[in-house]
Structure formats: structure tokens, C-alpha cells
């Protein structure tokens, strides 16, 4: 599963882990988070994330 890194603060969204603090289940694809989802650390929009290897 892919990971996506916030270019603003460096937070990494790991699709395998999800985001428990935001009630996002493990296995949730980044594309399925919705357009209103923001970085849980700095509130940057999804457009500030890039695929992270």
C-alpha cells in the first residue's frame, strides 16, 4: 500500500495504517479520503501531498 507525505509539515499518511485519530480505518486509500480531508497535523489540503516511497 502507498504512503503520501505532506509537503508542508512532513506528516506521512500510510494507507495500511489509516488515521485512527480521525476515525479513518486501516486500508483506506488516499484517493478515498474525500476532497475535504486535510492533514491532521497542519491542516494542509490533499493537494499538498505527494506519493512517498
For residues 9 and 34, give the distance between their C-alpha atoms in angstroms, rounded to a whole number. Answer: 20
Whether 6 and 42 have beta carbons less than 8 Å apart is answered as: yes
3-class DSSP state for residue 48? helix
pLDDT tens-digit readout, 13-22: 999 999 988 8
Q: Strand order in 3-6's β-sheet?
A: 12-14, 3-6, 49-52
pLDDT tens-digit readout, 3-47: 999 999 999 999 999 998 889 999 999 999 999 999 999 999 999
Question: Taking the complete model, does pTM exceed 0.85, yes or no?
Answer: yes
Amino acid at each position: 500500500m502507498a504512503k503520501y507525505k505532506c509537503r508542508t509539515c512532513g506528516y506521512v499518511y500510510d494507507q495500511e495504517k489509516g488515521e485512527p485519530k480521525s476515525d479513518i480505518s486501516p486500508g483506506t486509500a488516499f484517493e478515498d479520503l474525500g476532497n475535504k480531508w486535510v492533514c491532521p497535523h497542519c491542516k494542509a489540503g490533499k493537494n499538498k501531498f505527494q506519493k512517498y516511497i
